[in-house]
Chain A
Amino acid sequence: MPRKARSRTRAAKNPTGQRKTAPHRRAPGASSLARGPDLIELARRLSEASGISGDEAAVRRVVLESLQGRAEQVSVDALGNVLVRCRSSGRRAVRVMVAAHLDEVGLMVVGISREGMLRFEKVGGVDERYLLGKPVWVGKDHLPGVIGLKPIHLWDPSEVRKTVPVDSLLIDIGAASKEAASQWTQPGDRVAFATRFEAHGRLVRGKALDDRLGVASLISLVLDPPPNIELLAAFTTQEEVGLRGARVAAYALEPQAALVLDTTPAQDLPMGDRSENTSYNTKLGAGPAAYLADGGTISNRRLVNLLAETARAEGLPLQLRQPGGGATDAAAIHLTRKGIPSVSLSVPARYLHTPQSLAHLDDWLNTLRLSRAALARLTADMLR
């Protein structure tokens, strides 16, 4: 259920009114929203909001409320992207687009059966093995439902070994008939996993960490922009169904470089046969993950080097995401117009595209710190 926003007071700048700049060890601007319970509370609001691709309104509202009165040029475009143009402190500042996507994978109601059960289809790459027996929220008002399955007692043993195809699954909202169900929901309503966000010690757990962690980080960056760059923030829509928001956002913003803040799978589990895991992609706890190349983008080498050098200078951990596979908004951004040098930096997380993802608090906060510090060091001649 949506929560009332707590008011936040802005942390004071240091007495001379100036911001700290590099090369201090502490990441600049760490005073405002960059750490502590406020950022986690923001992540909770974002994670629990429903924003399935194409219907990001609830998440957009949280973003717009967070930025209210504290960011200058904020606009929403035809696809629902939130675009923020922050003025820079320097004259020849590099125009940098920083993107995080608002949407999450989920389901859409496509029909109602005579018995009042809801037929659905996937929106985005939901891991189908995780659907059975899970609670969901249907529609804008978070109507509770269950993706049920007949109990194990009633299955033919031979059938239990087969996957249940999505088109034979149904959501039960407790309605007795099609007429009754139609009072509450209709085809077209989106369905999200009913997951409460939790932060315990080192771990954060919730749905849609992909990419609400990135969104929270981007909000933090906008509220206290890194100096020396002109920050063009894009909270993009429809990443999970083809990077559609990012494409038009990049066209509109016309940046000189782009940084994408996303999450990436950590597949660092033991192998069934105890052999070496050669496809872990990233490891939880090993820090923010920089991309060399994924399925959609070959990162700009200089930007990758900037991240590595910044991590070294600031004493922050950094890992390299294994090359190959997947894609981020960078794939759409870097080929826009005449080409935009781009790189992605992600928070490693397990079980993305399932009802419960898992990430390390430090990995996330370090991703924010690293991106802020690297952006502050970006200069025009790094881009040729």
Chain B
Amino acid sequence: MDDTQLTAFLKGLLDEPGLSGHEGPIRERMRQAWDPLLDEITQSRLGSLHGRKRGRGRGSRPSILIAAHMDTVGLMVQQVVGGFLQVTPVGWLDPRILPGQAVMVHGRRDFPGLLVAPPVPLLAPEREGEEAVRFEDLWVDTGLLSLESAKLVRPGDLITFTQPPFEMGDGLLAGKSLDDRAGLAALTLCLEELQSRTHTWDVVVVATSQEEENFAGARTSSFEIHPDLAVAVDVTFAAGPPGQPEHRVFPLGGGVTLGWGPTIHSGLFRQFEQAALRAEVPYFTEVMPRHTQSDADAMQVTAEGIPTMLVSIPLRYMHTPLELVALRDIRRAGRLLAEFCVGLDNGFLQRLSLE
């Protein structure tokens, strides 16, 4: 895919709804994109998409699982009060960015709505002086009459942001759900590159469900697939907005990050560094003293334990309708993954060591 195609592909992904636990539309989009690139595609009980590209090796081949999550954050209807909807978040959202956001309510049919904060005089007196918006205050104004809303929407219906993506600056894309559709795009680029390169191991790509909720997709998929290695591909924080701790942010468009910490197998990390050098992919070490808060955490402790790695793409404004990512970082992630897969030979596991 060239840059125009990649941008179009990504924009298509960003368009598909896919809240945690309800990933249907994005799953179908990924199935279509991946079908020509894989030998088998299946779906897990929790809705994760599993795709296997068989390696050249004979007999039973070791496998590497590469996961990016397809679910995104959003909102769910909690109660219908006339033409107004009380909402609850699905995933971790900052309520302060919500007033004024245009949304789509996926009821009996899709219809538009507007997220609003109540006028200050309507807030309870004990909130006086406190301006910060909380979820309890928010409403989605549908503009419908009570009779209409009762027919169209009920508790449990999903709400997504409708912000359309757009290009910016030098190869940057702004839009919702780049966390982690950027990762899915990277996986797709990796699969494309593998069409014309040989690899010994089986490569199993997984679009996981429910990462934003509790990593249930990664946990159950890694149990089912039982790979020898597991890699999570997600997004991380990019430098830009002031006030972010220095060691937790990375330049936008400057390269990918490799995770380091208890969740990451130190030997695997070193192998990924080698692969990055071979593929000429600039990278940064992202230290994660405790957990990674990604699918990697779940995959490492599945069954008897799996050596696990995390590759991340820097992104600004995570979990808002306008996240920002550099296309070249997505390409780099795809290239790095392909290079690593190609480098897996039959002796890899024996050589792999924590020391």
Contacts and interface: CB of A to CB of B under 8 A. Distances in A.
Interface of A: 53-55, 57, 76-81, 108-111, 119, 121-124, 167, 186-188, 237-238, 241-242, 244, 247-249, 251-252
B109 interface: no
B287 A108 contact: yes
Given A78-B307, A244-B300, A57 B355 contact: yes
Contact of B291 (A81, A167, A241): A241
Contact of A187 (B247, B291, B300): B247
A54 B266 CA distance: 9
B354 interface: yes
Contact of B304 (A54, A55, A251): A251
Chain B interface extent, by class: 20 to 34
Interface string B221-254: 0000000000000000000000001110000000
Interface stretch (B174-182, B185-193, B257-265): B257-265
Interface in B303-339: 303-308
Given A78-B307, A188-B260, 18 more contacts: A53-B262, A78-B300, A79-B300, A79-B305, A80-B354, A110-B247, A111-B246, A123-B289, A188-B261, A188-B285, A242-B291, A244-B262, A244-B301, A248-B305, A249-B305, A251-B303, A252-B303, A252-B305
A120 to B, nearest CB: 8
A248 B303 contact: yes
B58 interface: no
A58 to B, nearest CB: 10
B127 interface: no
A107 to B, nearest CB: 8
Contact of B289 (A80, A110, A167, A186): A110
Contact of B287 (A110, A124, A238, A247): A110
B287 A188 contact: yes
A313 to B, nearest CB: 37
Contacts of B290: 53, 123-124, 241
Which among B265, B287, B308 has the highest number of chain A CB atoms within 10 Å?
B287
A79 B305 CA distance: 7
Interface string B111-137: 000000000000000000000000000
Interface string B285-300: 1010111000000001
A286 B302 CA distance: 39
A121 B289 contact: yes
Contact of B262 (A54, A57, A77, A186): A54
B258 to A, nearest CB: 10
B285 A187 contact: yes
A9 to B, nearest CB: 29
Contacts of A241: 262, 290-291
Nearest to A83: B304
Contacts of A109: 287
B261 A108 contact: yes
A238 B307 contact: no
Contacts of A55: 262, 266
Given A54-B261, A108-B261, A248 B245 contact: no
A171 to B, nearest CB: 14
Nearest to B352: A78
